[in-house]
Structure 1
Amino acid sequence: MNKKFVLVSLLVVVAMVLAACGGGGEKLAKSINMNLGTEPPTLDPDLATDTTSVQCDELLFLGLTDFDDKTLETIPELATKWEVSPDGLTWTFYMRKDVVWVHYDPATKKVTEKGPVTAYDVEYSVKRTLDPVTASDYAYVDYIIKNGQKFNTGEITDANEVGVKALDAYTVQFTLEKPAGYFAGIAGMWVNRPVPREPIEQFGDKWTEPGNIWTNGPYMLETWEHESKMVMVKNPKYFNAKNVSIETINWAMVVEESTAFAMYENGELDVSAVPSADLDRVKADPVLSKELYIAPYLCTYYYGFNTTKPPVDNKLVRQALSMGFDRQKLIDTVLKGGQKPAKTFACPGIFGSPAEDPNFPAIPFDPAKAKQLLAEAGYPDGKGLPEITLMYNTSEGHKRIAEFIQQQWKENLGIEVKLANQEWKVYLKTVHGPDTPQIYRLGWCADYPDENNWVLENFHSTLGSNDIKWKNAEFDKLVEDAAASSDPAKRKELYFKAEKILTIDEAAIIPIYYYTRVVCTKPYVERTYAPLGGEHIDKWKVKAH
């Protein structure tokens, strides 16, 4: 779920107000305090691209499908079942009939039911995402839908030609450009979640503000003080409300992990990401070490190049930069969280990724070869190299990583790279815009566990977001053919070749490491860990303590 991805801390604290006894006489807290890590750029599902926004949308809006936290299996949510035609081109989803839109008035605390959530709302949302007027940066995800790309790019202007249609109030049908066995996952993504036409048309860009917004998920929006805090309250009309234990989520927006972790240690927070600078101490502490959880996460940390800007328009320079720093040393001395050096864009656990294929070549740490490549590019010992700027979103962790790599490039290649940073919301606009930095930092986390979500949807020259502004005809054809194939072995073979072009032959990006989830949780918090999309906080419990 990127959406362009930045990892932000997910920090949880229990409020001191206690609810009635839970099942089996267990006393539970009714509120939980969490940290988003930054201001969400948007709460509009059709506009979301980042994990912060997606986390909020996960709690406010339902999708046709979701993913099982343990198995990664695509499971029903708003849909009850779906059918696929023999040719794989037509997907029909049958929806629940007990899901309603609700309006919450923060002033009076009144909850008003605004009518059923229907297939017409799904159709409206999909077409709205693809409408060029909406300017959704994630619209490319729906290019798999018939005429989705043509409508989004203005080649056609009739939305009725897009391959999504409500057959009746509770049946929605999608027609695809080509078979895609992973489409059930796409159908449940935030950009395809039903959104309410009435408040959107009434309030425009302000429709997601408290008092304006309608939602249909386990929570409603009570407060949004921008750059400060957000409060969500339990939706009593939610179809599974009886099983939602936590009634209020108080979201803070603390950017720095060190501040949040200090709050955790002070007893103010119940869950906290662990800053890399504190990890050795946490591992050695008899109490904190028992609260520490480290596990692989379906995300890759990488640097992208704007391949149109000198000198990184030269693949020799890009290759030199990629092999000019020591990934393992970065992990051992800076990150310390059991991460693995990345040799591919897609991480282990993604279908089609060659990350664990022993035949896929690792990107070497080879300063001598890197200096040779720089010389071949016309910059012996880095002399004459134009100024290069590496940009990252404001964060202590990202700064530490950037400074390590900056120093490695200086020591190993003799080049100076300038660092710059921007606040997350501004940074996303910069990276997605026409003037993408020469080198930029992002993380990509799976929206659904298939290589198509990684290589095609990120780096295809016309079918993906392509922030690197790169065009490689061979790569484009490989990922197109892989997307269209129903042969798993053939798809893996094609993705192997595509990843090699992307990360080694052309070095259009620098894969740096595969993420791990590094988090401390108090023993009285019962939680799940979502491998895809936002955390399912509606399934959590906090015991009285």
Structure 2
Amino acid sequence: MRGPFRPIVWVGGATSVALLAAACGGDGGNDNTATGGGAGRSGGTATVLGCNPQNSLIPSNTTETCGGNVLDAITAKLVHYDSKTAKPENDIAEKIDMTDNQNFTVTLKKGYKFHDGTEVKAKNFVDAWNYAAYGPSAQSSGYFMEPIEGFADMQCADEKCGTKPKADKLTGLAVKDDYTFTIKTTEKVSNLPVRLGYSAFSPLPDSFFSDPKAFGEKPIGAGPFKFDSWTKNSEIKLSKFADYSGKFGGKLDAITFKIYQDASAAYNDVIAGQLDVVNQIPSSALVDDKYKQDLPDRNLSQAVGVIQSITFPPTKTDPSYADPKVRQAISMAIDRPTIAKQIFNNTREPATGWVSPVVDGYKANQCGEFCTYDKAKAKAKLDEAGGFKGGKMTLSYNADADHKPWTEATCNSIKGALGVECVATPVVDFATFRSKITSFQMKGMYRSGWQMDYPSIENFLAPLYRTKASSNTGLYSNAEFDKLLDEAAAETDAAAANAKYQQAEALLADGMPSIPTWYSTVQFGWSDKVTGVQSTAFGTIDLASLSLK
């Protein structure tokens, strides 16, 4: 649910390390799982950590966690992901029938309502998906509709969409009656039902289409909480939807996402009782597990479907990193074990590939030697490429989160191995940072993170590295990689599909479009006013379980 797509905003690091030690450290992440107490009372308001959304809150145009976390609370989809296992189960869908992995019939539950009181019907899904897929709509998650027949004819013929597309409707969607619609995909897609719980597939009320811009400032969903207000740079308020008929509601009457520009400030507010839950712990509190001392019996650490990485700019934006050998050299120059130990206090596990270990299909060591720290091999690989021709290297990060320590340590490691100047470079906030990336204006390397949208190996590959995929911000393109993704999607056997996806992942080591750095665990802290604090498998706060004592 947090991915294409939702690049993530926060990462903790320890401020005590300015320079990297040369030796190797431990690797493992902390897999200890905890929850914040038992059943609490119904009612009341809780405050949770929030951040500035990059865009207005339209489901098909929200591709990052700041807006995505809010949308997850106010939207309902055909499918809901279990908070602990991420296993999909029907929500608005009564059933999803498929016969050949290419033709699907969706039957809706009756009586499911939007927050404006109108009923959710088949046309609300079909209209929403057509809007997302239509090129002139310029929706960042429109790519999710690509498997549906007719998608290609709805795309712009040029970058500015000056030429109207051939069609404005997906031929693969058809409304049969108020509660039934069909989906036909261009090719076979074995995991399509699993994908349908992602926010891009949310239904939209009829009122959306009269003024999408206004809707984005005050969105209407069909989820357990409804949108109340958004004070920019300050807070987003939600309240319980009285007519919610689903089975995934919660006990709270209201939730406020308090927007912070600094992870330490949010953490200190939790300690002071001014904020109820944070799902990120700042660097200083990770050192020696200080957060466990600050918040005894009010903390948790859990492995989640999140991977951290460093992405390279498109060649047209910055040709300095175009040679895959340069990228491979940089990757081998990063001392992941030492950073995991000294910066993250072993709350991160050094990554050996591009797919999180929590999903079915994960295979270790897909990156091979290129994700193994080796100063000599790194320098030799850079020399093989003819050296670095861009002067100094830069590694950009959003300054409204705790990325400075690890980016500086990473640059120190690169400089120590390659003998090339590397500078950790802050960008004022996450919204600005992401805007520079998605408009292809970001020069140099930049931090990236991926929180799975749905529990599949495919979700860590296709949205990020398929040619022209919506979250392929480095503009990587490999025809053989794309072909393997298509072959995997056509497989009816899960093991056979995973094997194809694994072959595709292995190809990434050749082009190195990004550097896998570490797999994430999530650390939570909470005030003494709340109970039932749990993390979802996606690393987000499980709002359904949260309540006041």
- Tell me which interval the TM-score lies in, with the shorter structure as reference length: 0.7 to 0.9
Q: 1:69 & 1:468 partners in 2: Cα distance?
A: 31
Q: 1:276: Cα distance to partner? A: 2.5
Q: Does 1:262 align with 2:261?
A: no
Instruction: Indicate the residue corresponding to 1:166 in structure 2.
Output: 175
| Residue aligned with 2:371, SS | coil
Q: Does 1:37 align with 2:84?
A: no
Q: Is the 8 A contact 2:351 2:517 kept in 1?
A: yes
Give the partner amino acid of 2:172: G
Instruction: Indicate the residue corresponding to 2:501 in structure 1.
Output: 495
Normalised by the length of structure 1, the TM-score is 0.87
Q: Is the 8 A contact 2:94 2:107 kept in 1?
A: yes
Of 381, 390, 407, the residue aligned with 1:373 is: 381
Q: List runs of 5+ in structure 1 lacking aligned partners.
A: 11-23, 104-112
Quickly say closer, same or farther: Cα 1:363–1:533, change in 2 above 3 A.
Answer: closer
Instruction: Indicate the residue corresponding to 1:68 in structure 2.
Output: 82
Of 235, 245, 254, the residue aligned with 1:248 is: 254
Q: 1:527: Cα distance to partner? A: 3.0
CA deviation string 1:89-139 (max 9, x = no partner): 111111121222234xxxxxxxxx3x2111101001000100112111121
Instruction: Indicate the residue corresponding to 1:107 in structure 2.
Output: none
Q: Is the 8 A contact 2:333 2:413 kept in 1?
A: yes
Of 336, 352, 355, the residue aligned with 1:346 is: 355
Q: 1:161: Cα distance to partner? A: 4.1
Give the partner amino acid of 1:189: Y
Give the partner amino acid of 2:237: V
Equivalent positions of 1:331-342 (< 5 A) are 331-342=340-351
Q: 1:296 & 1:25 partners in 2: Cα distance?
A: 24
Q: 1:418: Cα distance to partner? A: 3.2
Q: 2:39 & 2:342 partners in 1: Cα distance?
A: 47
Q: Is the 8 A contact 1:58 1:535 kept in 2?
A: no
Q: 1:349: Cα distance to partner? A: 2.0
CA deviation string 1:242-274 (max 9, x = no partner): 963211112210121111111111122232221
Q: List runs of 5+ in structure 2 lacking aligned partners.
A: 13-37, 158-163
Q: Is the 8 A contact 1:389 1:438 kept in 2?
A: yes
Instruction: Indicate the residue corresponding to 1:306 in structure 2.
Output: 313
Give the partner amino acid of 1:88: N
Instruction: Indicate the residue corresponding to 2:408 in structure 1.
Output: 403
Instruction: Indicate the residue corresponding to 1:518 in structure 2.
Output: 523
CA deviation string 1:151-203 (max 9, x = no partner): 234595323443122211111211112222221122222111111232441x3
Q: 1:343 & 1:241 partners in 2: Cα distance?
A: 39
| Residue aligned with 1:244, SS | coil
Quickly say closer, same or farther: Cα 1:54–1:47, change in 2 above 3 A.
Answer: same
Q: Does 1:125 align with 2:128?
A: yes
**Number of residue-to-residue matches in the alignment:** 511
| Residue aligned with 1:174, SS | strand
Q: 1:463: Cα distance to partner? A: 4.6
Q: 1:425 & 1:162 partners in 2: Cα distance?
A: 35
State the 4+ residue runs in structure 1 displaced beyond 6 angstroms. Answer: none
Instruction: Indicate the residue corresponding to 2:34 in structure 1.
Output: none
Q: 1:26: Cα distance to partner? A: 6.3
Of 369, 387, 391, the residue aligned with 2:396 is: 391
| Residue aligned with 2:176, SS | strand
| Residue aligned with 2:137, SS | coil
Q: 1:305: Cα distance to partner? A: 0.9
Identity %: 22
Quickly say closer, same or farther: Cα 1:94–1:501, change in 2 above 3 A.
Answer: same
Q: Is the 8 A contact 1:331 1:338 kept in 2?
A: yes
CA deviation string 1:48-96 (max 9, x = no partner): 11112111111112111111122322111111221112x2211111112
Q: Does 1:294 align with 2:301?
A: yes
Structure scoring higher RCO (CA < 8 A, sep ≥ 6) equals 2
Q: 1:410: Cα distance to partner? A: 1.7
Q: Is the 8 A contact 2:393 2:420 kept in 1?
A: no
Instruction: Indicate the residue corresponding to 2:139 in structure 1.
Output: 136
Q: 2:283 & 2:199 partners in 1: Cα distance?
A: 31
Quickly say closer, same or farther: Cα 1:288–1:532, change in 2 above 3 A.
Answer: closer
Q: Does 1:151 align with 2:163?
A: no
Give the partner amino acid of 2:222: N
Of 108, 111, 115, the residue aligned with 1:95 is: 108
| Residue aligned with 1:300, SS | strand
Normalised by the length of structure 2, the TM-score is 0.86
Q: Is the 8 A contact 2:140 2:470 kept in 1?
A: no
Q: 1:497: Cα distance to partner? A: 2.8
Quickly say closer, same or farther: Cα 1:40–1:427, change in 2 above 3 A.
Answer: closer
Q: 1:391: Cα distance to partner? A: 1.7
Q: 2:283 & 2:299 partners in 1: Cα distance?
A: 13
Q: 1:508 & 1:143 partners in 2: Cα distance?
A: 22
Give the partner amino acid of 2:375: P
Q: 1:306 & 1:253 partners in 2: Cα distance?
A: 29
Q: 2:463 & 2:39 partners in 1: Cα distance?
A: 49
